[in-house]
Structure 1
Amino acid sequence: MPEARDPEQTRERMLRCALELFTERGYEGASIGMIASGMGLTKAAVSYHFRTKEDILNAVVEPAFSDLEAFFEKWGTGPLKPAKRREAIAGYVRLLVKHRGLLAFLAKEGDRENPEPVMRQWPHVGEKVAQLFGGDQEDLSERLYFAAVIRGLALAPVKFPEVGDDDLREHLQIAAERMLARPRRRPA
């Protein structure tokens, strides 16, 4: 059966097209009509799968949220012991690489003054990751360190779109271990 006639494959193509347009033009600058045009479909065909542009955005980010939920269920809230921390870092790096397209969109769109409701959840994800790897540090320099590291790791895949997933994962793993697997500083 041709891809365009399989509803699930068509839906997935729509989501990929939407993410590309959201990243290129911003959420506000993309439209359902543009998604339809980019796929050679009618606006009604897109609306059959998604009533609103916000429904499309929710469907675009849902896989990442599901993966992150499973990640946090597995690793808890931290802080982790060194051996477990290294395993969690590997899992986190896999997620960053898997969702690198979404991270590119978030890099451009994530700091908007009035983000869509689903986008308001992203800052909390960074806080949870910092908590997992850094714990509940009272020391301001440690909190700043983990905030910068988590943000930097999430932005790194965006800076190297030409690098394949396997190479990116390997090198990002090395960088993440250098930054996150180091012994935690104890307050004086």
Structure 2
Amino acid sequence: MVGTTVRAPDSRQRFIEAAIPLFARHSFAGTSLQMIADEVGVTKSAVHHHFRTREELLYAVVEPLVGQVRAAVEAAEALRSRSARAERMLTGFVDIVMVNRVLAPVLVSDPGAVEMLRSRPEVSDLVDRLIKLFADLEPGVGGWIKADMVLAGLAGGISPRTSNLDGDVLRRYLIEASRRTLGLRAPRCLRPS
């Protein structure tokens, strides 16, 4: 007979997967470790075995995403022109947002999650590098404002109203709206003849 005991790594992953929709529904501050335990069907002490705090759990949730963003930022920074860097960052970030449609709005617009993540220097530095790739298109405060608007707008574009859209359609609209905000022209290969 096969046992039903869940191995520790599987438990850890189950807690991470349960946390994402709870953070999206109740906010980071509004989600307790007890709620996550209840969702998984275990005791709170089982969650504490893997995560002493909600902050540790949030970082475990976003750790793969941080790696994806880091790779996208590094790929964009390697390009020569400001517009090529911004375009690469935009398409790379939109792809990350599309894969993380439930989590992305939490990470950009949930004040508790933003504050906790910004307190980690490696995350704060990475976000600053990402925003700079957009802001460099326009010198001065206007570039920074547009960059912040695009970052918030990309996560905000993932909403209940857009949840039924085909992924390719949503991706196209997110990229087009972001290009307009940044004043970024589509690459030549994507422009109509």
Deviation at 1:39, TM superposition (A): 1.0
Aligned to 2:52, the other structure's residue is in SS state: coil
Runs (5+) with no aligned partner, structure 1: 184-188
Q: Deviation per CA, 1:10-53, whole angstroms, max 9, x where unpaired?
A: 32221121122222222232221211111111222222222222
Please say if residues 106 and 113 of structure 2, whose CA atoms lie closer than 8 Å, have aligned partners that are also in contact.
no
How do residues 52-131 of structure 1 correspond to structure 2 at under 5 angstroms?
52-76=53-77, 80-83=81-84, 85-110=86-111, 112=112, 115-116=115-116, 118-120=117-119, 125-131=126-132
Q: How many residues align?
A: 181
In the superposition, relative to structure 1, how do residues 29 and 90 fare at CA in structure 2: closer, same or farther (>3 Å)? closer
Q: Deviation per CA, 1:33-74, whole angstroms, max 9, x where unpaired?
A: 211111111222222222222211110121221111111222
Provide the alpha-carbon RMSD of the alignment.
3.3
**How high is the sequence identity, in percent, across the aligned residues?**
26
**Corresponding residue for 2:23?**
22
Aligned to 1:17, the other structure's residue is in SS state: helix
TM-score (normalised: structure 2) = 0.72
How do residues 140-179 of structure 1 correspond to structure 2 at under 5 angstroms?
140-158=141-159, 160-179=162-181
Structure number with the bigger relative contact order (C-alpha 8 A, sep ≥ 6) is 1
TM-score (normalised: structure 1) = 0.74
Aligned to 1:101, the other structure's residue is in SS state: coil
